[in-house]
């Protein structure tokens, strides 16, 4: 009796858990575990997500604008060189001009001294800080990670980046945010050292798309998805070519087999 009453106290909770799990499975959404310390990002309908879809070049172009004018003041992208942008979202002339606007430390020259020169197509995106210590010092001890591969380095990929950039809000009742941190339910632990970076009208797009917070977040996430996998479009195109080639080969092989076997399949064997 005592055991039953104890279980009875727990039964509603057990039933509720089972119900929630069933509902989550039925609706195909991710199960939020009690020990998760962050909100899972929703899945957004990215234009490049389909099996046959390529990146939206105009979005990459706008996304670069957002990175350059907002994120680049804290985040490096040391795996992306200016030449990588050519024919992806910009012409060679445009990229050359963009590179030349930056100043790059180079050296040694004939006298053994380092010197600065305008950037070239082969230079990587200029880093905002000289080293990790400088980056931490400027950011309250937190290190802004390099963004070249961030889409591959985080669960949820571009969904997570978008949710993170647009997820800043006031902390709920009862949660106190440590000084220097900002409440963001999508970040593990809910408190991130990066302040909200995107605000409506933060940049100006040259195709006159209104620069709303969500537009900028979408475009910069697309740009970062491209940066983490520049071969994405080529990969899908190659996949299509291989599937088409082997599809045709299969049909040809089927025909050839039937043709060669028709003699054996249609002959009549009689025993005397």
How far is the C-alpha of 153 from the C-alpha of 225, rounded, in Å? Answer: 11
Is-contact 79 123, C-beta < 8 A?
Answer: no
CB of 70 to ligand HEC, least distance (A): 4
Residue 55 or 187 having the CB closest to ligand HEC: 187
158 membership: H or E segment, kind and range:
helix 157-166
Find the shortest distance in angstroms from Cβ 13 to ligand HEC.
32
- The stretch among 78-86, 101-109, 194-202, 263-271 that binds ligand HEC (CB under 6 A) is 194-202
State CA 160 to chain mean position distance. Answer: 8
> Per-residue string for binding with ligand HEC, 111-140, x by CB under 6 A?
----------------------------x-
69 to 98: interface string for ligand HEC, x by CB under 6 A? -xx-xxx-----------------------
Beta bridge partners of 116: 105
The helix/strand/coil state of 152 is helix
Q: 113 forms bridges with which residues in the sheet?
A: none
User: What is the nearest approach in angstroms of ligand HEC to the Cβ of residue 49?
Assistant: 19
Q: Three-state DSSP class for 43?
A: coil
Query: How many Å apart are CA 57 and CA 88, to the nearest integer?
Result: 6
Q: Which residue lies nearer to ligand HEC by CB, 54 or 140? A: 140
- The CB-of-42 to ligand HEC minimum distance in angstroms stands at 16
Residue 224 CA to residue 45 CA, distance in Å, equals: 16
**Residue set of the binding site for heme c:** 71, 74-75, 194
Residues in contact with ligand HEC by the rule CB under 6 A: 66, 70-71, 73-75, 139, 142, 144-145, 150, 154, 161, 164-165, 187, 192-194, 197-198, 220
């Amino acid at each position: 009796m005592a055991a039953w009453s104890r279980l009875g106290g727990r039964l509603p909770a057990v039933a509720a858990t089972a119900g929630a799990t069933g509902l989550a499975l039925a609706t195909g959404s991710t199960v939020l575990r009690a020990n998760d310390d962050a909100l899972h990002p929703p899945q957004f309908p990215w234009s490049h997500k389909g099996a046959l879809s390529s990146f939206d070049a105009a979005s990459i172009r706008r996304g670069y604008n957002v990175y350059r004018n907002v994120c680049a003041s804290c985040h490096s992208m040391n795996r992306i060189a200016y030449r990588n942008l050519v024919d992806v979202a910009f012409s060679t002339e445009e990229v050359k001009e963009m590179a030349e606007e930056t100043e790059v430390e180079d050296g040694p020259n004939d006298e053994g001294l380092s010197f600065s020169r305008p950037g070239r197509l082969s230079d990587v995106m200029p880093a905002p800080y000289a080293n990790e210590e400088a980056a931490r010092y400027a950011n309250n001890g937190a290190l802004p990670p390099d963004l070249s591969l961030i889409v591959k380095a985080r669960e949820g990929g571009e969904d997570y980046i978008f949710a993170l950039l647009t997820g800043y809000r006031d902390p709920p009742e009862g949660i106190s945010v440590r000084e220097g941190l900002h409440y963001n339910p999508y970040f593990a632990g809910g408190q991130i050292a990066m302040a909200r970076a995107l605000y409506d009208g933060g940049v100006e797009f040259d195709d006159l798309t209104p620069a709303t917070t969500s537009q900028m977040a979408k475009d910069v996430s697309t740009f970062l998805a491209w940066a983490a996998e520049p071969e994405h479009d080529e990969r899908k195109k190659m996949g299509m070519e291989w599937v088409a080639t082997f599809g045709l080969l299969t049909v040809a092989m089927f025909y050839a087999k039937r043709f060669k076997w028709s003699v054996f399949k249609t002959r009549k064997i009689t025993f005397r």
